[in-house]
């Protein structure tokens, strides 16, 4: 009589040991799935980007990871780690920080806090910002790269340093805008962080720019407030009347604010309006944004927004801060 493979499979009887092994494997699988679910619920594997905002003249830092609001400025007398420093700008969700103290000639001394100790970077500069784990600063009209350990390198571009100083998600490139002509430059970093090369000039008259997450495509706003998407050195105009552009290392989307108060998400050539009536906004990770709206005079409410629900963070907020030392 012909017996199919299925019949043979069904005809096999499992021993008690086989049954115990399969049952154990089933429960181990459930435990692994549950563990991943709990990790995701409590934020493991998610990306969070802290923002700073100004309220009643004071700068605060908001962490989307735990929802905490802390002062961005510090009283050096109350924190020995930062004794002698006037200002701390947190990075990496508060784990590291760029420190500064103002000199008598209106320049700044800057240092870097790595979570354990403070390292002096330069005694006199006019502006500075962190690009991932590296520091970019301007001194005597020139812009320098620092590995925040023991080396500073002249990047061979002139200041002023702009609001765009960004490390690519893979840590291989730095994007920055410099000079009075607002020139967009890209630099290559070796794996040790000891050398920086390139200084390739991409575009001019650029107001702000950013990498996409996980790739080296670039989005930027030009002096006419138009949004461009650039891939492989070519740039296409995608929209106009733009006031703010941002993205995150965990997303392939760009987010930008139009002059009419609409926030647009741009992904692979597709545009979608996700919010309206917005004064300003910032990306905070996991496809969420922080929005400033409900303005009355010069103050409004700050919310986190996931595309469905607005959650109040703080009120009487005058601005989302993006400056460096100034």
Q: What mean pLDDT is predicted for residues 120-145? A: 92
Counting residues of the chain whose pLDDT is more than 90, the rounded percentage is 40
Q: What is the pLDDT of residues 192-245, one digit of tens each?
A: 667 788 778 889 999 999 888 767 889 999 999 999 998 877 889 999 999 999
- pLDDT at residue 262 in the model: 96
22-36, 43-57, 270-284, range with the lowest pLDDT: 22-36
Q: Does 7 score more than 50 pLDDT?
A: no
Q: Does 1 score more than 90 pLDDT?
A: no
Alpha-carbon distances of 293 from 244, 288, 319, rounded to whole Å: 15, 16, 10
Q: What is the pLDDT of residues 53-79, one digit of tens each?
A: 999 988 888 888 888 888 765 443 344
Which phi-psi region, left, alpha or beta, contains residue 12 (left: φ > 0; alpha: ψ -120 to 50)? beta
Using DSSP, state whether 187 is helix, strand or coil: strand
- pLDDT at residue 250 in the model: 79
Q: Does 34 score more than 60 pLDDT?
A: no
Q: Does 36 score more than 50 pLDDT?
A: no
Confirm if 247 and 283 have CB atoms less than 8 A apart. yes
- pLDDT at residue 33 in the model: 59
Counting residues of the chain whose pLDDT is more than 70, the rounded percentage is 79
Q: Which two tokens stand for residue 280?
A: 């300003």
Q: Does 44 score more than 90 pLDDT?
A: no
260: Cβ contacts below 8 Å, ≥ 6 apart: 241
Q: What is the pLDDT of residues 134-187, one digit of tens each?
A: 999 999 999 999 988 877 899 999 989 887 888 888 888 999 999 999 999 999
236: Cβ contacts below 8 Å, ≥ 6 apart: 228, 229, 230
What is the chain's mean pLDDT, rounded?
82
Who has greater pLDDT, 29 or 122?
A: 122
Using DSSP, state whether 240 is helix, strand or coil: coil
Confirm if 166 and 211 have CB atoms less than 8 A apart. yes
- pLDDT at residue 325 in the model: 47
């Amino acid at each position: 009589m012909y017996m199919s493979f299925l019949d043979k499979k069904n005809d096999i009887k499992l021993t008690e040991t086989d049954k115990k092994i399969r049952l154990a494997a089933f429960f181990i699988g459930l435990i692994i799935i549950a563990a991943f679910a709990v990790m995701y619920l409590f934020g493991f594997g998610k990306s969070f980007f802290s923002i700073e905002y100004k309220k009643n003249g004071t700068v605060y830092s908001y962490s989307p990871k735990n929802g905490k609001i802390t002062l961005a400025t510090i009283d050096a007398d109350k924190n020995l780690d930062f004794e002698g420093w006037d200002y701390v700008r947190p990075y990496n969700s508060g784990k590291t920080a760029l420190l500064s103290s103002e000199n008598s000639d209106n320049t700044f001394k800057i240092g870097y806090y790595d979570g354990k100790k403070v390292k002096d970077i330069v005694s006199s500069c006019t502006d500075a910002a962190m690009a991932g784990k590296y520091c970019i600063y301007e001194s005597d009209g020139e812009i320098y790269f620092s590995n925040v350990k023991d080396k500073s390198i002249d990047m061979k571009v002139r200041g002023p340093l702009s609001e765009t100083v960004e490390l690519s998600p893979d840590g291989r490139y730095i994007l920055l805008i410099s000079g009075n002509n607002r020139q967009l430059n890209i630099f290559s970093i070796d794996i040790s962080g000891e050398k920086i090369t390139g200084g390739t000039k991409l575009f001019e008259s650029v107001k702000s720019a950013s990498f996409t997450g996980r790739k080296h495509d670039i989005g930027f706003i030009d002096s006419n407030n138009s949004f461009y998407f650039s891939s492989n050195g070519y740039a296409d105009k995608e929209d106009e009347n733009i006031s703010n552009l941002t993205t995150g290392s965990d997303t392939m989307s760009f987010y930008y604010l139009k002059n009419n108060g609409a926030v647009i998400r741009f992904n692979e050539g597709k545009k979608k309006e996700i919010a309206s009536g917005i004064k300003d906004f910032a990306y905070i990770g996991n496809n969420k944004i922080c929005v400033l709206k409900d303005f009355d005079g010069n103050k409004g409410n700050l919310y986190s927004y996931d595309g469905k629900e607005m959650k109040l963070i703080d009120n009487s907020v005058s601005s989302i801060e993006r400056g460096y030392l100034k």
